Amino acid sequence: MPFGNIGIGGLVLILIIALIIFGPSKLPELGRAFGRTLSEFKGATRNLVGGEEDEKQRDADPVQPSVPQNK
């Protein structure tokens, strides 16, 4: 089961309660907002993890000063 201990019955119950509370016109908007929030969270998490790896890479590689070329 991909949703842990909730199960199909629990998901249906949550969907029905959300439909009663918010109405059918607001559910797609709420779904989009939730999706955007989730994708921003994933992106921020990747940036944090990737930033640490980039920092380790920068510390391992010595930085060579760039010399401007005259034409």
pTM for the full model? 0.49
Tell me how far CA of residue 26 lies from CA of 20, 40, 57, in angstroms: 11, 21, 46
Residue 57: pLDDT over 80: no
- pLDDT tens figures, 9-48: 998 998 899 889 988 888 889 889 989 999 999 998 888 8
Higher pLDDT, 50 or 53: 50
The Cα 6–Cα 38 span in angstroms is 20
Residue 65: pLDDT over 80: no
Measured torsion, CA atoms of residues 8, 14, 16, 18, in degrees rounded to the nearest 10: -150
